[in-house]
Amino acid sequence: MHLPIKFRNALLLTALAVALPSLAVAVLPQSVDGAPVPSLAPMLERVTPGVVNIATEGVQRVRRNPLLEDPFFRRFFNIPDLPAERRTESLGSGVIIDAARGLVVTNNHVIANAERIRVRLRDERVLQAELVGADPETDVAIIRIPAERLTALPMAAPDSLRVGDFVVAIGNPFGLGQTVTSGIVSALGRTGLGILGYEDLIQTDASINPGNSGGALVNLKGELVGINTAIFSQGGGNIGIGFAIPANMALQVAEQLLQFGEVRRGFLGAQLQDLDPSLAEAFGLPAGQSGAVLNAIVPGSAADEAGLRAGDVVVSLNGRQINSAGELRTQIGLLRVGEPVQLEVLREGKRMSVSARVTPREVTEVSGDDFPNPRLAGATLRNFQGPGDNQRGVVVTQVAPGSRAGQNGLRPGDIIVEANRRALTNVAELAEVMASPGAQVMLRVRRQGVEAFVVLR
């Protein structure tokens, strides 16, 4: 149908009148009421020079069938010698925390097994780095680079972060180069995730992807609040649940790595359990009460000397509320050896204050007969330290014939790496798990390079 020109012009003007307002709102204004539109760019210009990209090269031992380790077996079946190691490469991120000394904090898993560590700065300089120290239990590592024209990130005040605060994650995802994502703090004090040995994590929905590990989580002032470490994902991609190590926790670990080359953790000497609603009711405590229940006390430990008892419920440590067993274990594990602690405890419904002083884990060898739980009776156990920092555990040195430990399938040379899903680094930690006489215990044991679970009966 052909319309007269005047009608077509009227329709055109009407269409333009409708379209122009849409076009106007689709264009971001340069200012609102004379003020510039908010932007993170000025803050990021100050902060991004303090975040680096890390590339590593190393060697990792290849786990093989024990039969392939037998030279006779290989000769008999004409199996050629196979390399027991393979070359590895990884990409990650790091944060400059001390420009004057060239110190960079990152994740332990970024530099694990690394023989060569290269750091790329924001200005495209590539520097060789040396490893200062690493702590697999908190996934924190410190490396050092030449202290030339570096920018360190300022630290946020401890405990200043709140749920709902806006945060920005900076890192090197998928090796693409420095990338920035934003979100909010979804939760604080996440524990019991099984990601780290000691967990007190920040949860955020800022996108964190492979390669972001070791990078910075900063607030809108550009202050460091966390070190990005992991994501929760069923398929390997980001679904808006990322985790970061609190900056003050990472710095506590870093200070010990710088001073001692390792983390010398405090030891309380108690087996812990969450205070769930059924236990709270049994103890006569109010509904909704949270805390950590002391199941058993290791004889002669700091807990024993302080007068703590099985059944005590710890509700705060040094003024900080304790909501779970994992939270108490983490806070004790971050204390220096000899440091005093003040515990608020509920005992038979009454609140009381208990002073203790955490002790070092001095035990290096123990007999299974000394545990209240008899399921390792007949075994002699020692601290184990393999060639790598992450190769620690408890080695079984002797097993008496016909003993309970022998009946449970343990043999000399076995390395116990986990007890009840808890990674072990020494016999003192195993003693904590074995402190309760009737507790069921499941070990993960490494034998000739092959690992298996063993339930002690």
pLDDT digit string, tens, across residues 300-350: 788 888 999 988 999 999 988 898 888 888 888 888 888 889 999 999 888
Which tokens go with 220?
Answer: 């809108």
Residues in the chain: 457
Residues 122 and 97 grouped into a single domain? yes
Distance separating alpha carbons of residues 426 and 333, to the nearest angstrom: 14
Residues 373 and 397 grouped into a single domain? yes
pLDDT score of 76 more than 70: no
Residues 324 and 371 grouped into a single domain? no
Cα–Cα distances (Å) from 112 to 90, 133, 135, 172, in that order, read: 9, 11, 10, 18
Q: Hey, CA dihedral for 70, 72, 74, 77, is it positive or negative?
A: negative
Which tokens go with 255?
Answer: 């200070």
Q: Provide CB contacts within 8 A for 381, sequence distance 6+.
A: 365, 366, 367, 368, 394, 395, 396, 397, 416, 427, 430
Confidence category of residue 8, pLDDT binned at 50, 70, 90: very low
Residues 206 and 232 grouped into a single domain? yes
Structural domain includes residue 7: no
Structural domain includes residue 198: yes
Distance separating alpha carbons of residues 332 and 344, to the nearest angstrom: 14
DSSP class of residue 267 equals B
Structural domain includes residue 17: no
Residues 133 and 176 grouped into a single domain? no
Residues 57 and 121 grouped into a single domain? yes
With CA atoms as reference, report the closest residue to 216 among 185, 247, 242, 195: 247
Which tokens go with 85?
Answer: 């190691």
Give backbone dihedrals phi and psi of 338, rounded to 5 degrees, phi first: 85, -5
The enclosing domain of 386 has a CATH number of 2.30.42.10
Range of the domain at 135: 45-144
Structural domain includes residue 19: no
Residues 319 and 375 grouped into a single domain? no
Last residue of a domain, one of 144, 179, 197: 144
Residues 275 and 252 grouped into a single domain? no
In this predicted model, which residue has the larger pLDDT, 363 or 134?
Answer: 134
Q: Is 294:309 a contact under the CB 8 Å cutoff?
A: yes
Structural domain includes residue 31: no
Distance separating alpha carbons of residues 134 and 71, to the nearest angstrom: 36
How many domains are there within the chain?
A: 4
Structural domain includes residue 298: yes
Distance separating alpha carbons of residues 95 and 222, to the nearest angstrom: 13
Which residues does the annotation mark as catalytic?
A: 109, 139, 213
pLDDT of residue 199: 83
Which tokens go with 331?
Answer: 């806070």
With CA atoms as reference, report the closest residue to 128 among 67, 54, 228: 54
Residues 137 and 64 grouped into a single domain? yes
Structural domain includes residue 150: no
Which tokens go with 248?
Answer: 């003050």
Distance separating alpha carbons of residues 304 and 268, to the nearest angstrom: 9
pLDDT digits (tens, 9 = 90+) for 138-180: 899 999 999 999 999 999 988 899 999 999 999 887 667 788 9
Confidence category of residue 107, pLDDT binned at 50, 70, 90: very high
Residues 65 and 104 grouped into a single domain? yes
pLDDT score of 1 more than 70: no
pLDDT digits (tens, 9 = 90+) for 118-140: 999 999 999 999 999 998 888 99
Residues 353 and 371 grouped into a single domain? no
For residue 187, list its beta bridge partners: 203
Last residue of a domain, one of 357, 385, 409: 357
Mean pLDDT of 234-250: 79
Q: Provide CB contacts within 8 A for 15, sequence distance 6+.
A: none
Last residue of a domain, one of 87, 110, 144: 144
pLDDT score of 289 more than 70: yes
Percentage of the chain modeled with pLDDT above 90: 36
pLDDT of residue 6: 43
pLDDT score of 12 more than 50: no
Pairing of strands 216-219, 103-106: unpaired
Residues 216 and 243 grouped into a single domain? yes
The enclosing domain of 106 has a CATH number of 2.40.10.10
What pTM was estimated for this model as a whole? 0.67
Structural domain includes residue 417: yes
